[in-house]
A and B are shown apart, each in its own frame.
Chain A
């Protein structure tokens, strides 16, 4: 038997490996599986879950009031007809993109470090998309009728939705994205649910995990179809995730509003989405690995790599700001130039400059390894990045709208308490779902992390393997 060779070891074991030393199949499985199988509830989990539930009830109140009184309780008004609802929609959808990037794009690139963070990053995606979907749905005012306006189904007058509108493209893109993300996540869970079934000690857990595992046996035939299906799903999710935020950006770019009507929007939005998404993954990963002692599975290598992705995408976003300003000036269009000047020096100028400071100046601290490997700095920075990406959508949406073409319709925008309650309420929904996920679902893909071990590599003599040796 040939000595197993840890493939790509030169790249990953230089200073921080993607998996801690002294691990074997059993230690990895036990570290992850014992969390959902444990009895009782940790005190810090209960506190976090209650905070989530508390904010979730704020969401219920905000939605209830909205349905009773109508969307006038929000701060949206002419000329700022889109405000918190769309800002928060784009913010949440963008956050979701990192999960798909980690689970799909990095799989295609054979990045081993994605394995231990993919499961909870995908969960983050699903929960973030759920939060995002609430906003356009509730902005319709009567969400129970929204199916007629959003889905390809004729109303009582026989009229169909306008398929030439980016808003309908958005419905197709976001609903497909939500569906495919859920399917990909569930497929990824099946082998781990079988592990949970086989390790469960209580009958209830054995029945629940056994049902969800569908009878998975891990046979060679199972695994073959499974790996093929995973690769196909990754290959499909990759163009999908790029299309989703491109389509979201079309909501703006296809219009004629100065500040929105820009060809740079699709790539600039996608980069911003991945940037903010990695910010959120770090916000979640840093406390989780400390609380559940998973630092041998989510190592400093992961933190370092995520910081590098943030730096790269952050610089693309900063380039986008530069190009927006350049196009505004170079177009020689008076409305574009005015919009740009107003964005920088108008009443909302503070938000623009705060955004530029964070995303174009502060982000450069990520060039320093000492910052990337400092958990406190990284946690703080991840929160700041999420704030900045929220501000970016605020700047794009509100400053472009509040100075209309006619000065007579100029007005300011101020959110109401209901806007803030809706927003913090969706954070509550996200936290509630995430805390439930942490407690009841294996949050690291055990079977994938097992393949990182040197002993998982096999050597097949020539002539027995049609596809060459090595796994």
Chain B
């Protein structure tokens, strides 16, 4: 299985698992063993893995809320400025600042800004687009988007030692352990 003679050229070690439950169990044990630089790759979203491995939740919702507010203000000030300041048009003596009529475009821009922030923010915070990543060097990793589950422990981890980490991953019930080259 795992034979590595050159630990310097290594991104980390990758263990392959068969099921969602086995990678969750393996992640719990790897975190308990003190590893901190590790990542799980799965073909389905497993929300629990983020809580186990990274423990931190994303700030994306707060960013979206802030941008939603910006969208609302943009919509409202645009209409107020155009209708009251830039080109006031007196129609039958009706008020210029007709805020109820301005609600709908403001509402739509709130949603537009928030939705674009959610989508672009998710992609950007995930570091995408990213054409190259070392995990793609492992041939079996192409199954990570179909039916296999992978756990990678990075060589940069302070607890990382090629042989011990390799046998540790074997001990977790991995179906295979592979070197991840840079």
Contact = CB atoms under 8 A, between A and B. Distances in A.
A154 B87 contact: yes
Contact of A232 (B101, B118, B147): B118
B44 A450 contact: yes
Nearest to A4: B21
Contacts of B54: 220-221, 224
A152 B82 contact: yes
A220 B53 contact: yes
Contacts of A199: 142, 145-146
B118 A172 contact: no
B161 to A, nearest CB: 23
B118 A216 contact: no
A228 B61 contact: yes
B44 A176 contact: no
A225 interface: yes
A392 B11 CA distance: 63
A152 B78 contact: yes
Contacts, number: 223
A456 B104 contact: no
Contacts of A247: 104
B41 to A, nearest CB: 5
A406 B19 CA distance: 74
B47 A471 contact: yes
B170 interface: no
Question: Secondary structure at chain B's binding surface: helix, strand, loop or mixed?
Answer: helix
B165 interface: no
A236 B83 contact: no
Interface in A152-189: 152, 154, 158-160, 163-164, 168-169, 172-173, 176, 179-180, 183-184, 186-187
B52 interface: yes
Interface in A372-424: none
A91 to B, nearest CB: 22
Tier of interface size on chain B: 35 or more
B145 A218 contact: yes
Given A456-B20, A460-B28, A471-B48, A219 B108 contact: no
Contact of A172 (B19, B105, B114): B105
B87 A158 contact: yes
A172 B122 contact: no
B126 interface: yes
B60 to A, nearest CB: 5
A176 B111 contact: yes
Nearest to B78: A152
Given A224-B57, A460-B48, A217 B108 contact: no
B79 interface: yes
B92 to A, nearest CB: 12
B126 A198 contact: no
Contact of A163 (B101, B118, B129, B142): B101
Interface string B109-130: 1011011101101110110111
A187 to B, nearest CB: 5
Interface string A34-61: 0000000000000000000000000000
B143 A198 contact: yes
A232 B114 contact: yes
B153 to A, nearest CB: 13
A228 B133 contact: no
Contact of B126 (A164, A172, A225): A225
Nearest to B94: A164
A4 B78 CA distance: 54
A26 B98 CA distance: 58
Tier of interface size on chain A: 35 or more
B24 A458 contact: yes
A292 interface: no
A397 B84 CA distance: 34
Contacts of B49: 220, 223-224
B41 A159 contact: no
B51 A466 contact: yes
A226 interface: yes
Contacts of A458: 20-21, 24, 46, 48
Task: Find the residue from B61, B107, B133, B135 having the highest chain A CB count within 10 A.
Answer: B107
Contact of B102 (A163, A198, A464): A163
B109 A172 contact: yes
Contacts of A226: 45, 122, 126
Nearest to B105: A172
Task: Find the residue from A4, A211, A227, A239 having the highest chain B CB count within 10 A.
Answer: A227
A234 to B, nearest CB: 10
B21 A232 contact: no
Given A160-B83, A233-B119, A447-B44, A243 B108 contact: yes
Given A219-B39, A226-B126, 10 more contacts: A176-B111, A180-B112, A187-B122, A216-B145, A217-B41, A236-B118, A450-B43, A455-B19, A458-B46, A460-B52
Q: 9 closest Cβ contacts across the A-B interface? A: A25-B147, A229-B122, A224-B50, A215-B130, A220-B49, A214-B129, A198-B142, A164-B101, A214-B128
Interface of B: 19-21, 24-25, 27-28, 39-55, 57-58, 60-61, 64, 75, 78-79, 82-83, 86-87, 98, 101-102, 104-105, 107-109, 111-112, 114-116, 118-119, 121-123, 125-126, 128-133, 135-136, 142-147
